[in-house]
Structure 1
Amino acid sequence: MSDKKTWTLTNVDERTWLDSFDLSSDIIAQASPLPWTIKKRTLHGGLTDGVDVIEVDNGAFFFTVVPTRGMGLWRGEYDGCKLGWRSPVKGPVNPAFVNQVDCGGLGWLQGFDEWMCRCGLASFGPPVKDVIVDDEGNSSEADLTLHGRIANTPANRVELEVTTGNPPVLTVVGVVEEAMLFFPQLRLTTRISTEVGSNRITVSDEIVNLKDTPAEFEILYHCNFGPPFMAAGSRLVSPTRRVAPRDPLSGEGMANVFEYGPPVPGFVEQVYWHSLASDADGNSLILLRNADGDRGAVLRFNVNELPCFTQWKNTAAISEGYVTGLEPGTAFPNPKTFERSRGRIITLEPGERYHADVTVEVHTTPDGVSSVEDEVTALLDGVDPEICPAPLPEWSVV
C-alpha cells in the first residue's frame, strides 16, 4: 500500500515561504532502488535575483522546476545529455525584470530561456489588438502581448510530495493564478512527477475558470531543445498526417521540414503546423533524434487535450539561440483573433476544468530510440503525410 508525505514550501495565503529546503532518500525512511534528492533554493545576482528553483534528481534524471516563472522546467540532464538550450538570455530570469509590452509586445523574449515553459492562459501567439468585453458588457480594445502571462507569473503555492512504492514517486505541485479585476481569472494547478530511476517526467495540468462568467482559455507547451538532441542531421520523427508552413518564408524549407541543419548566423525562424495521428484513445507522441540515432527526446500527449502541434525551427548561430521548439497546444500560435475565427479558442464555463498532460522521455541508446520510431510508424499505419507547400487558410493568416 502506498503512502504519501507532503511538505509545503510556499503558501501565500498562510504567509509561508521557505528560502531553502533539502529532502533525500537518506532522510526519508523508505526503500528506494537509487538515492534521490529534492532541493529548493533561491538564486541571487543578475537577472536571476530572487528566483526560486527546485532541483529534482531521481537518481538518473535531473531537472529544475522554477516556481517563480510559472512552474516551468528550466534545465534537465539524463545520462550525461543536457536538456534545454543556450539562450542569449542569462536565466532563469525573475519576471520583475521582464516588461512584456517592450518591443511592440515582444518583451516576453527577455525572460525566455527555459527547456519547457507554458504559453497562455488567456492567450498566446504574437502581439495583437483584441476586443475585451467586461462583466458589464462593455467592449474595449486591449493589446495582447507575445505568448501571454503565465510563464512570468510566480506560483502562490508550492508543495513537494513523495509517494512510497517500488519505485517511489517524486512530485512537485504548484498553483499559479492568472487573474485581474474585470478580466479572466484562471488557475493552473500542476503536478510535475517522476519515478525514482526513470527516464520520464510527466507534467499534469489542470486549469479552472474561477469566475462566475465564461472565460476564454488556451495553453501551449513550448518545449525547447538544443544540442545534443538538435544538431546537424537531427530529425523530427512524428506521426504527421498533414503539415503546412506558417508563412511563405517557412514554405521555402518544406522539402526538409523534418530535418535540421547546422547553425547558420542570421537564420530567420521557420514554423510549421502539424496534424498528428493517434491511437484510439487520442494518445500520440513525437521524437527528436540525433543523426546517429542513439539520442532521442520524446514528448507524449493526447490530441484530444492538445490537438495542435507546432514545430519551431531556429537553426541560428549557437550564440544567437540554436534551438527547436516542439509545441503541443490547444491551438496554433497565431494571433488570438485569428484562432478565435477558426474555432480553436476554448471557452470554460464558470468552475469548469480543463486537463492536459505532457510526458518528456529521454533515450540514450539506439534500441531505445528505435523502439520509439516503431511506435510512430505504427500510428502512421502506412499512410504518408500530406506535405503542403504553402500556408493553409484554415491554419495560417494568409
Structure 2
Amino acid sequence: MRTFVLTDVSHDAWVESFAIEGEALGSPAFRGCSVAKRRLHGGRREGVDLIEIDNGALAFSIIPTRGMNIWKASCGGDRIGWDSPTADGPVNPAYVNLLDLGGIGWLAGFDELLARCGLMSNGAPHRDGDTIVPLHGRIANIPASYVAIHIDDKPPHEIVVEGRVDESFLFGAGVRMTTRISTVPGSKRLTVRDEFENLKDQPVEMQILYHWNFGPPYLEEGSRFVAPVKTLIPRDPRAVEGLAAYDVYGPPEPGFAEQAYFFELLADGDAGKTVAMLRNQGGDKGVALRYPLAQLPCFTLWKNTAGARDGYVTGLEPAANYPNPRPFEKARGRVLTLPVNGRHVAETVLEALDDRSAVAKVEAEIGRLQAHAAPVVHLSPREPFAAEG
C-alpha cells in the first residue's frame, strides 16, 4: 500500500497539486486510472480543494474543503449528480452562513452528489431555546484536517481517499469523522465508509444522514424509485398529496413544492443489507445504493421535481434518523449516543447501472427482498415517524 498525504494540519502539511496515473500508480492493473488533486480559484469556489478519481469505468470528485463530500461522478459518459441553482460551486464554506434566512443558509452551498448532514443535528431548522439549529448541520461545511490517498498494488488494487473531519468545540460537539472513499479499477461502484469517534471524556450525541442527490439522465418523467418497503409514511400534508405516485417522477415543473417520504426498508437475513434504486423511464439506466440496515435504519425519499433551473433533483437518503427537528428525533430514540471512546460506523455503496440487464438484476434483487413482507403504507403522517396533524 502506497500512501500520499495531501493535508495534515498536525504537521502543517498541505500539497497544492498532485497527479499520478496509469502504471505509475503501481501496477498494470491501473491502466486507464488516474488520481489528481488541485485547488480551485475564482468566485465562491476560491480556495476549494478538489480530488478527482478515475478508475477507468467510474470517475468521481471529492471536496475535502466541504467535509469530504462527493461533488460529482460519471459513468459511461453519463453524469451522476444534478444541476443545482448554485452554479458556481463547489462553494467555499467561508461564503456559507448557515444561519441565513432563518437557518437555511446551508442551501447556498448545496450542489453535491453526496452531502452528509450532521453531526450535531440534521433536518429542518428549528429553535432550541435561544439557539437557531440550522438546516442539516455543519459537517458539510467543515474542511478536512487530514487527507491522504492510498493505492494498493495488490489485488483488488483498491484506490482509497481518506479524510478526517472534526466537529468539536468547547462546551459542544466532540465527534471526529474518518472517511474512506474507495473503488477498484474497472468497477462501477464506489464505497463510502465513515467512522464516527467520540473525542470527549463524556458521552456525546450525534446524527448522520447521507443526502445522495440525482438529476438527469437518471431522473426524468417516468423515472421510478424502487426499494423493498416495510413501512412508508408521508412526512407532511404536502407529501400526502403525492402518496399514490410516491415512487414515480414527473417532468420538471416550475413552482413544484418538495415532497418527502419516510421509510423502514427490508433487508436480507444474512448480512442485514438493503438496496434502493432510482431508474430512468426506459429501465436502461439507474443508480443503486446498498448499505447495512443496522448502521442506517432510517430512509428518506426527497422529491423535488422543480423547474430545470430551479433544481430538478431527487434525494435517496439513508440515515440514522429521520430529518425531523432534533428534539423530535431524540424523544423517539433516534439520536445516537457515543460513549467515551465510542464509535459508530456507516457504510454506503453507490453503483452505476448502465444497461437494461444491470437495472433488471437490481430490480429482481429488490423484488426478492419485498417478497418477505407486504409494505405497510400509512395515508397520513404518523408517530413515531413524523408529527401528526
Q: Does 2:350 match 1:352?
A: no
What corresponds to 2:164 in structure 1? 175
C-alpha spacing 1:25/1:167, structure 2 compared with 1 (3 Å): farther
How many angstroms apart in 1 are the aligned matches of 2:160 and 2:210?
19
Give the whole-Å Cα distance in 2 for the aligned partners of 1:253 and 1:162: 46
| Partner AA of 1:165 in structure 2 | K
CA distance in 1, matches of 2:263, 2:14: 42
User: What is the Cα deviation at residue 183 of structure 1?
Assistant: 0.6
Structure 1 CA distance for aligned equivalents of residues 225 and 118 of structure 2: 25
Query: How far does the alpha carbon of each residue in 1:150-199 deviate from its partner, in whole angstroms, 9 at most, with x for none?
Result: 00000000000001233411110000000111111110000000001100
Give the residue type in structure 1 aligned to 2:325.
P
CA positional deviation for 1:26:
3.5
8 Å CA contact retained: 1:108, 1:147: yes
* Moved >3 Å (runs of 4+): none
Deviation at 1:388, TM superposition (A): 1.4
CA offsets 1:203-248 (integer angstroms, 9 cap, x no match): 0000001000111111000000000011100000100111111001
Out of 118, 124, 142, the residue aligned to residue 122 of structure 2 is 124
Distance of 1:248 and 1:389 partners within structure 2: 10
What is the Cα deviation at residue 127 of structure 1? Answer: 1.1
Tell me which residue corresponds to 1:323: 313
Count of matched residue positions in the alignment of Structure 1 and Structure 2: 386
Deviation track 1:303-328 (CA, whole Å, cap 9, x = no partner) reads 10000000000000010000000000
Q: Which of 57, 76, 80 is the equivalent residue of 2:77?
A: 80
Are 2:201 and 1:204 equivalent residues in the alignment?
A: no
- Structure 2 CA distance for aligned equivalents of residues 260 and 34 of structure 1: 39
CA distance, structure 2, for counterparts of residue 325 and residue 171 of structure 1: 25
- Specify the SS of the correspondent of 2:255: coil
Tell whether the 8 Å contact from 1:34 to 1:197 is kept in structure 2 after alignment: no
Matched residue type, 1:57? D
Matching residue within 16, 33, 37 for 1:40: 37
Conserved? CA contact 1:53–1:66, under 8 Å: yes
Deviation of 1:27 (Å) = 1.9
**Cα distance, 1:380 vs structure 2:** 1.0
Give the TM-score normalised by the residue count of structure 2.
Answer: 0.98
- Matches of 1:184 and 1:33 in 2, distance apart? 41
Q: Which residue number in structure 1 is paired with residue 273 of structure 2?
A: 283
After superposition, the Cα gap between the structure-2 partners of 1:165 and 1:126, relative to the gap in structure 1 and judged at 3 Å, is: same
Q: Any unmatched runs of 5+ in structure 2?
A: none
The yes-or-no answer on 1:66 pairing with 2:69 is no
Partner of residue 239, structure 1: 228
* Deviation of the 1:30 alpha carbon: 1.4
Q: Give distance in 1, aligned partners of 2:349 and 2:72.
A: 15
Distance (whole Å) between structure 2 residues aligned to residue 342 and residue 287 of structure 1: 28
Q: Distance in 2 between matches of 1:190 and 1:356?
A: 10
1:167 & 1:185 partners in 2: Cα distance? Answer: 35
Q: 1:382 to 1:177 in 2, by over 3 A?
A: closer
- After the TM superposition, which residues 356-375 of structure 1 pair with which residues of structure 2 at under 5 Å, given as runs? 356-375=346-365
TM-score (normalizing by structure 1): 0.95
Q: State the partner residue of 2:256.
A: 267
* Paired residue secondary structure (2:28): coil
In structure 2, distance between residues paired with 1:336 and 1:222: 17
Distance 1:337 1:19, change over 3 A: same
| Contact 2:322–2:329 (CA under 8 A) maintained in structure 1 | yes
Q: Quick one: distance in 2 between partners of 1:34 and 1:385?
A: 46
The 8 Å contact of residues 273 and 395 in structure 1, kept in 2 or not, is answered as: yes
What is the root-mean-square deviation in Å for CA atoms of aligned residues?
A: 1.0
